[in-house]
Amino acid sequence: MSNQLNLEVVTPHRIVMVEDVDSVTLPGSEGELGILPEHIPLLTTLDSGIMSYSISGKTKSIAVHWGYAQVEGNSVRVLAELAETATEIDLERAKKAEINAKENLVSGASSTSEWEAEERRQNKYESKLKRSIVRQKVAESN
């Protein structure tokens, strides 16, 4: 019985990391998931959020934005649309994106006929807001 997990984080464009870790916390679409060695097999969807992992008592974080995670034996594979380490995140840009998203969420549709377009716009800026906040937390945590 192994006491570590092999964590692999992959996007469509690159391999972000492959490393042996002690534990992983994933931003599941229905809430956070804690994964330890010998976890039961699992396949889940991921939301935009902070994926953290610990190695020898030190916790590190990666911003992941949508995707899937597969846990099998002592292997955790994260297939994300986008994943960013703290060093890859432009903190000032993320702060500006947060302000911009909040401003765009405040302005709304002026008539009922614009409701569907307004709902799409709201969803777009809610996603942008969430991504910017996740990026800031990861950038400031490491």
pLDDT tens per residue across span 85-134: 988 988 898 888 888 878 776 765 555 557 677 777 787 888 888 888 88
Mean pLDDT score of the chain, rounded to an integer?
A: 88
The neighbouring-strand residues paired with 59 are 54
Q: Are 28 and 47 in contact, with CB atoms under 8 Å apart?
A: yes
Domain boundaries, the chain: 5-86, 91-141
User: Would the pLDDT of 32 be above 90?
Assistant: yes
Q: What's the average model confidence in pLDDT over 74-80?
A: 96
**Amino acid making up residue 1:** M
- The residue that leads in pLDDT, 67 or 136, is 67
74: closest CA among 23, 17, 16? Answer: 23
CATH superfamily of 5-86: F0F1 ATP synthase delta/epsilon subunit, N-terminal (2.60.15.10)
Q: Where are the alpha helices (DSSP H) in 14-90?
A: none
Task: Give the pLDDT confidence score for residue 134 in this predicted structure.
Answer: 86
At 43 the pLDDT is 96
Average pLDDT for 78-89: 92
Which band of pLDDT confidence, cut at 50, 70 and 90, is reported for residue 34?
very high
Alpha-carbon distance of 47 to 135, in angstroms, equals 13
Q: What is the pLDDT of residue 135?
A: 87
